[in-house]
A and B are shown apart, each in its own frame.
Chain A
Amino acid sequence: MSETTILLDHGSGGLASQQLIGELFLKYLDSPILRGLEDSAVIDNQPGKLAFTTDSYVVDPIFFPGGDIGKLAVHGTINDLAMRGARPLCLSLGLILEEGLPLADLERIIISISEAANDCGVPIVTGDTKVVPRGKADKIFINTSGIGIVPENVCLSSKQAATGDAVILSGTMGDHGITIMTRRAGISLQGDLQSDTMALHRLVAGLLDQFPGRIHVLRDPTRGGVATSLNEIAASSGRSIVLDEGLLPVRPEVRAACEILGLEALYLANEGKCLAVVDQGSAADIIAALHRMPEGRDAAIIGTVVDGTAGRVLINTPIGGSRVVTPLHGEPLPRIC
């Protein structure tokens, strides 16, 4: 292609569009179904229950330490499938491009999507591209939808958190959120801050395989962080969750960043972590198993499900106090009077 930036023509459906598809999308995202360029992907009938999810990605900046918007779009949707115990089958890819987006950036994102999809073993099977005039979008927006298959015997849901269950977090908190927020604001901090974007379907498959019936809930604590996801679990299960602040895994760089910025890691977004509510008796074995997986190296038991006021999340602090952890409504607001 001779142009260096995206033009409105690239979304016209005409020659420029075809060029984009041929020279960029098919080059990197080749899969037998996508190559057909049919109006829809047709997937063979699979045994089990069908899981279907969609998510849109509008992250700013589009490139960040540890990943980019493309990788996020693949991992995020795969993780949404995985949280219900689904084996991801395939993804769709919808792109909304802002006129003027450097083609080099687009190529970099498509390569990243391709690598992520290949690594995960989940092909992109259908797609769409639109170009909007300058200012009508911010560089690039991505939507991915995903289909997965849930084995007949698997049923994961927030409702299933039971009294006595252990709450496990598969790794450190806040890495993605703090990285994106500081990059966006142009704040440079000491230490290596990186997004944790990562697909968790293999971790989930491993757990479900080794611990049938012991995993009651899986959630990926993305926007609103661990605090908000736990509040949702507590609310839908009608239980309380008690965390132990001393057990929360947070990388020292993230902890230091939160301290100086006045943020709480509990509320920061994660893109490669899951919360697992599991049978107490199996918790130690599950942690051991997680530690053997690359995605679960830093997994830790962070709390317990208890009877008590429905929907309440508490955190015990190292000095012997107990605080109420509310879900996030919007921006954190000062409370000290």
Chain B
Amino acid sequence: MTNSSIRRNAPQNGVEIRVRGIVQGVGFRPFVFQLASRFAICGTVTNTSDGVVIRAWAPAAALLSFQAALVDQAPPLARITDIDHRPLSSPAESDSFTILPSRDTGTVLAIIPPDIALCDDCLAELRNPADHRYRYPFINCTNCGPRFSIIETLPYDRSRTSMKQFPMCPVCAEEYKDPANRRYHAQPNACPVCGPQLSWHDRNGSTLTVDDIIAAAIGAINSGAILAIRGLGGFHLCVDACSEAPVAQLRERKRRPAKPLAVMVADVAAARRLCNLSDEQARVLSGPQHPIVLLTVRPQTKLATNLAPQLSDIGIMLPYTPLHHLLFTHPDCPAALVMTSGNVGGEPICTDNKEAFRRLAGIADFFLLHNRDIVTRVDDSVVKVVAGHPRLMRRSRGYVPAPILVPYELPAIIGCGGGLKSTFSLARGKTIFPSQHIGDLFNLPSYDFYRESVINLKRLFAIEPVAACCDLHPDYLSSHFAKELGLPLYRAQHHHAHAVAVMAEHGLSGPVLAVVLDGTGYGTDGTIWGGELLQVDLTSFHRLGCLEPLPLPGGDAAAAEPWRMAMACLFRCFGEKACDAPYLVDIDPARRRVVLQMLESGFNTPLTSSCGRLFDAIAALLGLQSVSSFEGEAAMRLEACARQAVTNRWQDELLEHQEDCRLDLHYRENEQRWEIISSKFVKRMMDDLDTSGNGPVAALQFHSWLITRISHLVEKLAGRTGITTVVLSGGCLQNELLLDGLLFSLGQRGLSTYSGVQIPHNDGGISVGQAVIGGLQHVSSSTDES
């Protein structure tokens, strides 16, 4: 139906508008209500199982404006996928506009809003001495504040959140009931009279009584102390980010020697003083989710140099709770604060005050707490803007639990995820709900958090899985967990799942060519994969090509110690002379000899086509990193090194070298797949390096080499298969040069290329792919049986 059917001259036209998408629990009905008042429209709005339904009567012009505004001015969190109109012949039912109670609540597909950064209206009130919530650290409204992190069960209602222990005072209750108020049905609505309060404690947890907690906290920060701050979805550890000593102290106490620490600054202008900031980056930084955005630090800033040693990127975020704003509003607040998740290396963040006193004892000098319970842990999300899109590297606060919508039907299924950087996904119908970032499941607290979250989210989304899908890897705890569920179990190959996650996000049904550049994942042939070129559809795949399998001396030890992979490359190039080469001189010769023996005998040395390990090898050969202190460190160093050599000729160079590409490709007749022979490149690189000694140029050449070989091979396979849609995924694509280069180079070859935006490239994304692969396999196996 179209709006043309509205009779323009009649004083009162009626129309029924149905809005589908993410329109529930995002303040959509109050928004409609306010629009209706603005355009003098009468009628009703209600939530149904099939979206929001509006019945509106008004003069035609007003109706038209109203309908346009519905889309143009929709609340920041709403995502309208579909809107249709139907004229109503009946006259207006009343002369006012009403929000009706939800219809068919039993079947409404529960949508829980994510936690949202403080909105401008609330911020203005926070700063207005005349406002009754002036400087109140828990101010919020329908458009902002805690949601997912405080919800216990559905329907979403104050009595089922951790706000239930704070009965609203008459003023708050009045606002809550008034459809014209910004706090209409704002479940966490609170004020200084009735709501949560801050408290201030020493390292032993004893309460300290002070006049102004914010001033006390700023004083402590300025004296070099480490603060544990209870926030929205967990705890932060906070120190002055402009001072080396406290940062060093925090690193030592947190046992985190080198991993970059996230930093919070007052506003976009402050971020711009520290980092190069594009408009898009500024938009993401200050968007409703307020994620951590990875930005390139300007030289010569006030920031402490030990925040992200030897890396060019740093994670920056803006204040997203009223408490953060109060800290930054204090005149003595440092220009930047470290806000790193309050945990012991690798564990999930603490949520409970008592737990924080116990687990953060020995790290924090002071505790800045509050008494609003955190029901569900949510870390800060991490975004990197690459090739014009803000891409999630860690999807948590602000994004979860928003669903991914797909154009096919899935049964109720759980995708159990991977090993490190785990998430799980619950899916039903056309909707997939990825969980928040959970982490390395081998850490017991993370594994418990995972198991607990499965129970919570099953209840919140009302999804009781009838099938499960996990990785092929037998030793992932997520695979053990999947088995214990006792449901029909499907196993998806790791890189197939990576590829299908991208397809799900972009609504592709295949077949596509997938380039998955990853760390390691278990292959169908029992070897370790990780640099894959696959032909993929939603339920199956073929391995068309991969990076040359290299030995992985010591298994996971090779991921922690990139020099081992460098030895593997040298061994491939120079055989037993690998030890004599003048590389890796900082490694004890006895250790090098043992690794050489491992390479010769194959002892605990599986083969892997991993792209991540190839990055490690190159980083170590260039002397950038022989031992890593955190996952991906060597690859990050290599990227930072290569960036120093990037010129504006770089992209053009990616289109040259067509001839050379052929030389590095090898077709394995028996396995019918292509291999990209990386040892050939390594040999050339070592020769060049001997003469030029230019590390950054070599690092960039490696990137160019990889991009051109992959693009060349994809083009060749596209020609052969007739498939021109390409998806890119895998943890290595967190490397901006690589992702940018591949998107450009494949695009120039006339291929349509898709990669993760909402869903992380890393293992945080595979549960989405698993839900699709397992779900569709389950559907076809159930049909086969009947």
Contacts and interface: CB of A to CB of B under 8 A. Distances in A.
A38 B17 CA distance: 98
Nearest to B518: A337
A326 B480 contact: yes
Name the interface size band of chain B: 35 or more
A337 B612 CA distance: 8
A185 B600 CA distance: 9
B419 A333 contact: no
A319 interface: yes
B340 to A, nearest CB: 17
Interface in A305-322: 314, 319-322
B444 A322 contact: yes
B345 A321 contact: yes
Contact of A337 (B255, B555, B606, B762): B762
A259 B627 CA distance: 13
A262 B604 CA distance: 7
A181 interface: yes
B444 A335 contact: no
A323 B554 contact: no
B597 A185 contact: yes
Nearest to A187: B597
Contacts of B519: 336-337
B604 A335 contact: no
Interface string B584-615: 00000011001101100111101010001000
Nearest to B445: A322
Given A262-B558, A334-B559, A186 B421 contact: no
B447 A324 contact: yes
B480 A337 contact: no
B556 A323 contact: no
B475 A326 contact: yes
B345 A261 contact: no
A262 B445 CA distance: 25
A332 interface: yes
B418 interface: yes
Given A262-B604, A334-B528, A337-B518, A329 B475 contact: yes
Contact of A262 (B344, B443, B473, B553): B553
A326 B731 CA distance: 25
B614 to A, nearest CB: 14
A151 to B, nearest CB: 39
A260 B591 contact: yes
Contacts of A324: 441-444, 447, 477
A271 B520 CA distance: 34
Contacts of B559: 334, 336
A46 interface: no
A322 B474 contact: no
B281 to A, nearest CB: 27
Interface string B441-454: 11111010000000
Contact of B443 (A181, A259, A323): A323
Contacts of B224: none
A261 B603 contact: yes
Given A262-B555, A326-B475, A185 B520 contact: no
A187 B344 contact: no
Interface string A13-28: 0000000000000000
A37 interface: no
B601 A336 contact: no
A189 interface: yes
Given A185-B603, A262-B553, A337 B763 contact: yes
B346 interface: yes
A335 B476 contact: yes
A263 B558 CA distance: 11
Contact of A335 (B359, B420, B480): B420
B442 A336 contact: no
Given A314-B444, A335-B475, A321 B606 contact: no
A323 B442 contact: yes
27 contacts: A181-B603, A186-B597, A186-B601, A190-B590, A259-B557, A260-B595, A261-B554, A262-B553, A262-B556, A319-B255, A319-B345, A321-B344, A321-B346, A321-B444, A324-B441, A324-B444, A329-B475, A332-B475, A333-B522, A333-B528, A334-B552, A335-B419, A335-B475, A335-B476, A336-B520, A337-B420, A337-B519
Interface of B: 255, 344-347, 359, 418-421, 441-445, 447, 473-477, 480, 494, 518-522, 528, 530, 552-560, 590-591, 594-595, 597-598, 601-604, 606, 608, 612, 631, 731, 762-763
Given A323-B442, A334-B606, A336-B631, 12 more contacts: A260-B594, A262-B555, A262-B556, A321-B344, A322-B444, A324-B441, A332-B475, A333-B555, A334-B520, A334-B556, A335-B442, A337-B519
